[in-house]
């Protein structure tokens, strides 16, 4: 298998060891209450925590996409993001930064005014028709996530005959269009929890290696998702152990990136996974 790399605005990020994308939610209503950073002091504490725990990428969101979340104007979303981007530039300027937005204008401002490296688009280009053209013009890496409908309607669009095949078909078509626009660095995200039932999420995880065959880095966003806490009958706050378990499976299936609230735990999973990979290699060569 060839070594996977990601071009981060001229810097090659080697993904032969999977990387952890630490989450900063600059929102008052994220589904995981302990992950919210609604004021500048909380944002700074969160960024320093991610730095100390060894996050490889920081992913900042200013607009919750959970069902029933508050509708946020583009101006308010950008204002929230700016708080975190200013703090990152001041406290940890060398870390690659991703912005979680489905709005092209917000993406453009974040890249042009703050030097953001990656646009993480939960809409996969479906929520703003200008997003792909904007990403192509900005020449930044792009997380292409699968979702149907909108965050408020997505759970009414879970009618798949074969969820893995249909999600891959949809993403493959979009990759083809993105390549035609000149977008070179694409990260594939199956969209766990977005227009998927709990059962469909587990099918996608079991077949995550099929997404890896697309030849692009695959991101697993499983952290404290409802597929964990609904299955176990607990809350998002109690879902760390379940997240660790599913992250380990995602790595075994070939994920190159883990999006995580709990960076320290995710980094430990990566380290143990790499020890197992080393052991497997030694066995093969013996």
Q: Using the 8-state DSSP alphabet, how is residue 168 labeled?
A: H
The string over 91-130, giving b where at least 16 C-beta atoms fall within 10 Å of a residue's C-beta and e elsewhere, is: eeeebbbbbbbbbbbbbbbbbeebebbbbbbbbbbbbbee
259 noted as active-site residue? yes
d(CA 103, CA 173): 21
- Catalytic-labelled residue, pool 259, 264, 278, 280: 259
Q: Contact, 180 vs 173, CB < 8 A?
A: no
Contact 130, 108 (CB under 8 A): no
| Token pair for 54 | 């060894």
Dihedral angle computed from the Cα positions of residues 202, 226, 121 and 178, in that order, rounded to the nearest 10 degrees: 10
| Helix or strand holding residue 121 (H, E) | strand 118-121
Beta strand 186-189 with 141-145: parallel, antiparallel or unpaired? parallel
| Residues with Cβ within 8 Å of residue 6, at least 6 apart in sequence | 12, 13, 15, 141, 185, 187, 217
Helix runs in 2-125, H state only: 40-53, 74-91, 104-114
From 46, 174, 225, 253, the catalytic residue:
225
Name the residues annotated as catalytic: 225, 259
């Amino acid at each position: 298998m060839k070594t996977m790399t990601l071009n981060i605005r001229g810097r090659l990020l080697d993904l032969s060891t999977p990387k952890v994308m630490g989450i900063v939610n600059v929102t008052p209503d994220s589904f995981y209450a302990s992950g919210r950073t609604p004021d500048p002091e909380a944002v700074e504490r969160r960024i320093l925590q991610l730095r100390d725990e060894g996050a490889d990428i920081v992913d900042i969101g200013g607009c919750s996409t959970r069902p029933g979340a508050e509708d946020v104007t583009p101006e308010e979303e950008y204002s929230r993001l700016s708080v975190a981007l200013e703090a990152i530039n001041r406290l940890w300027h060398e870390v690659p930064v991703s912005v979680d937005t489905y709005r092209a204008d917000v993406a453009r401002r974040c890249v042009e005014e703050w030097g953001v490296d990656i646009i993480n688009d939960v809409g996969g280009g479906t929520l703003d028709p200008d997003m792909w053209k904007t990403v192509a013009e900005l020449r930044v890496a792009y997380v292409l996530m699968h979702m149907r409908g909108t965050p408020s309607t997505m759970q009414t669009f879970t009618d798949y005959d074969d969820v893995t095949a249909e999600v891959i078909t949809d993403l493959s078509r979009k990759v083809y269009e993105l390549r035609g626009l000149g977008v070179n660095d694409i990260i594939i995200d199956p969209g766990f929890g977005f227009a998927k039932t709990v059962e469909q999420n587990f099918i996608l995880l079991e077949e995550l290696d099929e997404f890896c065959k697309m030849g692009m880095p695959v991101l697993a966003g499983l952290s404290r998702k409802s597929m964990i806490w609904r299955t176990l009958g607990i809350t998002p706050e109690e879902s760390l152990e379940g997240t660790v378990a599913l992250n380990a499976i995602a790595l075994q299936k070939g994920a190159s990136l883990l999006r995580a609230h709990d960076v320290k735990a995710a980094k430990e999973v990566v380290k143990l996974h790499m020890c197992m990979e080393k052991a497997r290699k030694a066995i093969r060569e013996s």
